[in-house]
Structure 1
Amino acid sequence: IYPVGSKQNYFYGRVNNNFYAPSKYLVDCFDARYDKRWENSFTTAFSLFSMVQAGWRTYNDKNATITLTENLCAKYGIDAKFAGKKIYPYVDVDAINLGSNGGNQYVASVWPKGEYSGDVNKLVKVKNPYVNPYPLAEDEDRFIVYLSKEYLSDAEKAKRGYICVNIDDLFAADGKYKETFIDAQQTNTYTLFPSLNKFNFNFEGGFYGSNLQCKTGDMFIMRMAEVYLIAAEAEERLGNGAKAAEYLNVLRKRACRNEVDFEANMKLTTATEDDVLDEYARELCGEFTRWALLKRHKAFETRLPKYNPRAAVSFSQKNYLRPISYTFLNQIENSAEYGTNGY
């Protein structure tokens, strides 16, 4: 299996040291049947890639298109009837040289499903190649590993010619990721996890030269969705649950996969504090706002034991305070108006 974290992965990039995996709580926040923010937040289907445009890897290169052998099927729990079948690349990665100031730009285009010619004229430009088709079709042959949000039975997995792992199986009863084998074949599938894709930019100008660890796309500072969340949070704190729900419903309707499902499956009539905190998680995961939100609600003591027991073990009251330098504090000339706030 071509390693996702490989040094030569021009599609997914490379991280040398640390990976961040979503908690069980965050995964469970999404009902992917209705909420398309799931695949727009996390990549859960992983593919091989060709580099025909760049001339570096042909469509039928052994690291781009592979044939499932009996041994591979047995090792990774793929039904034996798929032995001899091929898994084709999902994308083709170009290498556009922008010169000394930009270096190579590894922009990916998608091979249409069922197109096996390797003809680069058939490639399709998409907004974000890390947002995979959802749900992944049973007959999909462009992905090698699929982490399924909906639980697949053995019979359902047997219909698919790729590695299938139920995301729920990655977690122990206490919500922590398992640290040992989850299959009888004792493969390393237990190390898999949904991968945050919000900042894995893939466009010309988004790559930091030839450094596969860095991207240069803009980070979100604030966007309109956060304004709706703040309004909903304020209304809920004031006891206006119905009004809070109105603000949340704007985001939920926009996120609903099919408009006809909104009324029955995503619309709120009233919003509780948990509704607000969960909606923040769905909408702003990975955007570095969570600590401030939980601090505002004094919610670490209640939320961490329920949803992040690993963090709860090391939590203390000092975690409500983050260091602020005296250089900064001394520039506030009217600090007496605000008090110490615990610092």
Structure 2
Amino acid sequence: MKKISIKLLCSAIITFICGSCSSLLDEYNPSGITSETVYNTPEGFETLVNAAYSYQRWWYGKEEGFSMAEMGTDLWMSGAGDAHPALTRYVNLQGNNPAILAEWKALYAAVNVCNAGIGRIDAAGFEEGLKTVRSAELRFLRAFYYWHIVETWGAVHLSTEETSGIVTEAIKTPVETFYSLIEEDLLYAVAHLPNTTADYGRVTAPAARAFLSRVYLSRGNDRAASDYATSVIHGNFGFALVNDYASLWSMANQKNSEVVYAVNYSADFALNDKSDPILNPLGHNRGSNSGHLLYIMKYDTETGMKRDLANGRPFNRYMPTRFLLDLYSDADSRYEGSFKEVFYVNNPSGSLALGDTAVYATRRAVAAQGEPYKLYDRNYIYNANGTVRDQLRYPTLRKYLDNTRNSADEAQSSRDVFVIRLAEVYLNAAEAQLKLGNLDSAAYFVNIVRTRAAKTGRVAEMQVAPAQVTLDFILDERAREFAGEQIRWFDLKRTNTLLDRIGRYNPDVAPIVRDFHSVRPIPQEQLDAISNKDQFVQNQGYQ
């Protein structure tokens, strides 16, 4: 989907007015545009629909979204360059957090664009079939954004009407009301979206089904979660796990059979909202996928090393917990498919020749024996109790590395974000079957994922028996499969295990996290702006 600049009224909910949105998708750029002239032509209305998609890029592939969806869990700790340590460690996490404010504004602005489209589509002049499809897309997206809102902040404001001016009151809406609307919108999307699309990035009926399985898991409706997950698995939609887990992260393999739903970025960086004050106001001048910057250890100051395309630009934001590194058995290809331990000399120095090992940062305990390279083993990286000892050197998550960038210093990446992979659908089905008491079925779905993950000749070692499938096991399996993929915080929240698993597996955070951290604080800027401050109050536990 292509992008241009166009003006479109899309005021954000409550007091956050988004104003004139630019950098929307599709090639339509008439002069003298107002919301009325845009909304009442099919060509103009397409820009609204595409704008509704664009807001996904505020969360998926952005540092703020990674911080809110992966950090503050059992899997990640702060690297030396962590820009949002309050989200990683819960230290002084309050409503003035800039990442929380940016995502709140973006998600509510996105909802308002969806509401505007849903309310105005009848006057857009579409033929009936296309009108139904575009309406279903907007309703999916509204549900998608509201799911992120309600899971992140709980019972906050919900509206189904377009807001075209400043609104000074906000209403605390019950979580159940959010989910009733989310379910209604997603069922409509399932019924009216096509099964496939030639326009990569648009939502399809199986993607809506897959997301609905996630939503039903969130609400404890395990039968429905199982039914919708298996409808994708057995629906003959053309999805299949790729044979090699590591190949998922090849820049040449972004559009593969495992991707059920993705947020797409453009190889033309000018189309990725790099400096747009509306669609990318986050202040980083990085409009594309930023994941490639965030998980890399500080390798470029090591002897024999300099920054290059293959190894990435190390922002050194996040590092794995020792627990995460230990989750993978030697039979599991996902460790090598997910993490990079060795850096090879690209800047010869002294006895280190080009291609020699320069750095070995490993999860293993290794006794140094006079190697010419620098060794950072588990006992160097972590203290005996698992707390961090070195925030600079550690195994690097390789999933987002992008050697197709223009230069070693380029902060933009055209990598798409896999929002839903088929592997998640299998594990959703497994979790639902576990909760329904069907351990044989739960093990069956888990073992499909683990079979793909097994190294050559080691499939039998990777199989699990029904009695081994517990909620803890499934959460471990989801960690092995989805580490760093912007879903972990939601997994722990959904299963009511956030406090427990941080307490057991993230000793840097365990002394700080509390029950109330299962929702984020409402932005203070929002609370200051509304007139009914005695009714719309901060979430419990925050100041």
**Equivalences for residues 231-242 of structure 1 within 5 A:** 231-242=429-440
Which residue of 1 is the match for residue 427 of structure 2?
A: 229
Task: Point out where structure 1 has 5 or more consecutive residues left out of the alignment.
Answer: 50-62, 69-85, 90-141, 180-189, 326-341
Quote the offset at 1:210 in angstroms.
6.9
Q: Deviations over 1:98-120 (max 9, x none)?
A: xxxxxxxxxxxxxxxxxxxxxxx
Which residue of 2 is the match for residue 4 of structure 1?
A: 299
Q: How high is the TM-score relative to the length of structure 2?
A: 0.38
- Compared with structure 1, are the counterparts of its residues 202 and 210 closer, same or farther at alpha carbon in structure 2 (3 Å cutoff)? closer
- Compared with structure 1, are the counterparts of its residues 5 and 47 closer, same or farther at alpha carbon in structure 2 (3 Å cutoff)? same
Which residue of 2 is the match for residue 316 of structure 1?
A: 514
Which residue of 2 is the match for residue 292 of structure 1?
A: 490
Which residue of 2 is the match for residue 87 of structure 1?
A: 353
Q: In structure 2, what is the Cα distance between the partners aligned to 1:246 and 1:323?
A: 39
**Equivalences for residues 86-125 of structure 1 within 5 A:** 86-89=352-355
Which residue of 2 is the match for residue 30 of structure 1?
A: 328
Of the three residues 344, 365, 378, the one matched with 1:151 is 365
Of the three residues 3, 9, 13, the one matched with 2:312 is 13
The answer as to whether partners of 2:343 and 2:360 remain within 8 angstroms in 1 is yes
- Compared with structure 1, are the counterparts of its residues 201 and 232 closer, same or farther at alpha carbon in structure 2 (3 Å cutoff)? same
The answer as to whether partners of 2:312 and 2:408 remain within 8 angstroms in 1 is no
Q: Deviations over 1:112-170 (max 9, x none)?
A: xxxxxxxxxxxxxxxxxxxxxxxxxxxxxx3211123443344xx45x55333322442
The answer as to whether partners of 2:308 and 2:408 remain within 8 angstroms in 1 is no
Quote the offset at 1:308 in angstroms.
0.8
SS in 1 for 2:357: coil
The answer as to whether partners of 1:41 and 1:198 remain within 8 angstroms in 2 is yes
SS in 1 for 2:420: coil
Which residue of 2 is the match for residue 78 of structure 1?
A: none
Q: How high is the TM-score relative to the length of structure 1?
A: 0.58
Match for 1:41: what amino acid? S
The answer as to whether partners of 2:499 and 2:515 remain within 8 angstroms in 1 is no
The answer as to whether partners of 1:231 and 1:244 remain within 8 angstroms in 2 is yes
Match for 2:349: what amino acid? I
Query: After the TM superposition, which of the residue ranges 211-220 and 275-284 deviates more from structure 2?
Result: 211-220
SS in 1 for 2:451: helix
Which residue of 1 is the match for residue 445 of structure 2?
A: 247
The answer as to whether partners of 1:87 and 1:144 remain within 8 angstroms in 2 is no
Which residue of 1 is the match for residue 389 of structure 2?
A: 178
Q: In structure 1, what is the Cα distance between the partners aligned to 2:374 and 2:306?
A: 22
Which residue of 2 is the match for residue 40 of structure 1?
A: 337
Match for 1:266: what amino acid? M
- Compared with structure 1, are the counterparts of its residues 240 and 87 closer, same or farther at alpha carbon in structure 2 (3 Å cutoff)? farther
- Compared with structure 1, are the counterparts of its residues 36 and 291 closer, same or farther at alpha carbon in structure 2 (3 Å cutoff)? same
The answer as to whether partners of 2:338 and 2:399 remain within 8 angstroms in 1 is yes
SS in 1 for 2:508: helix
Quote the offset at 1:209 in angstroms.
6.3
Q: In structure 2, what is the Cα distance between the partners aligned to 1:224 and 1:276?
A: 16
The answer as to whether partners of 1:5 and 1:13 remain within 8 angstroms in 2 is no
Q: Deviations over 1:34-57 (max 9, x none)?
A: 1111111111101222xxxxxxxx
Q: In structure 1, what is the Cα distance between the partners aligned to 2:408 and 2:459?
A: 44
Task: Point out where structure 2 has 5 or more consecutive residues left out of the alignment.
Answer: 1-297, 524-538
Q: In structure 1, what is the Cα distance between the partners aligned to 2:407 and 2:361?
A: 31
Greater relative contact order (CA < 8 Å, ≥ 6 in sequence): 2
Which residue of 1 is the match for residue 470 of structure 2?
A: 272
Q: In structure 2, what is the Cα distance between the partners aligned to 1:209 and 1:170?
A: 30
Match for 1:88: what amino acid? L
Q: Deviations over 1:177-217 (max 9, x none)?
A: 115xxxxxxxxxx73101111111223xxx26674333221
The answer as to whether partners of 2:363 and 2:395 remain within 8 angstroms in 1 is no
Match for 2:463: what amino acid? K
Quote the offset at 1:22 in angstroms.
0.3
Q: In structure 2, what is the Cα distance between the partners aligned to 1:45 and 1:223?
A: 28
Percent identity for Structure 1 against Structure 2: 31
Q: Deviations over 1:271-325 (max 9, x none)?
A: 1111100000000000010111111110022111110122222212322123679
The answer as to whether partners of 1:36 and 1:255 remain within 8 angstroms in 2 is yes
Q: Deviations over 1:214-238 (max 9, x none)?
A: 3221111111111111111111122
Q: Which has the higher helix share?
A: 2
- Compared with structure 1, are the counterparts of its residues 8 and 44 closer, same or farther at alpha carbon in structure 2 (3 Å cutoff)? closer
The answer as to whether partners of 1:208 and 1:216 remain within 8 angstroms in 2 is no
Q: In structure 1, what is the Cα distance between the partners aligned to 2:507 and 2:374?
A: 30
